[in-house]
Amino acid sequence: MRAMVYLVNQLPRRPLSLKEIASAEAVTEKYLEQIFMKLTKAGLLKTVKGPGGGYQLSKKPEKIKLKDVMHAVGESYAPVFCVADKGKNSCPRRKNCPIRPYWQKLKAVIEKFLDTHTLAGISKRRTICEK
């Protein structure tokens, strides 16, 4: 998510190299390459080949929801495994668990939050983290 926001904050949209983004966000190029492959496949990023090439957002930041980024990289936003999409049959107590409905409600709140906030919104609020 930080690397995507970094791209937003480098407008006008010139292509950025993995090396530049990785250095700015203190992650390895190898890790970022794996993440960016997923984001490119999901249509959130595009690559520019050749000298001066690199990565760019493929959509306006206002059109990229946090939920899109999470989904593209395969991250779950479920608070516990038993309410994650992949974990529906993971717990033998799921039918009688008194806590599971609360986890499901929390997941719905998180999903709504991620669905209503965009990269543009995060970019505008970056100064909060810098203080």
Per residue in 68-91, pLDDT (tens digit) is 999 999 998 899 888 887 656 678
Report percent pLDDT > 70 for the chain.
91
Short-list 69, 62, 64, 58, CA closest to 13: 58
Dump strand ranges (E) for 11-125.
Answer: 45-48, 54-57
Q: Furthest-apart CA pair in the chain: how many Å?
A: 60
pLDDT, mean over the chain? 89
pLDDT tens digits, 30-79:
999 999 999 999 999 999 998 888 999 999 999 999 999 999 999 988 99
CB 116 within 8 A of CB 1: no
Enumerate the domain spans of the chain: 2-130
Q: Report whether pLDDT(128) > 60.
A: no
How far apart (Å, rounded) are the C-alpha atoms in residues 89 and 83?
9
CA-CA distance, 102 to 83, in Å (whole number)? 10
2-130 to CATH, choices 1.10.1060.10, 3.40.50.300, 1.10.10.10, 2.60.40.60:
1.10.10.10
Q: How far is CA 103 from the centre of its chain?
A: 22
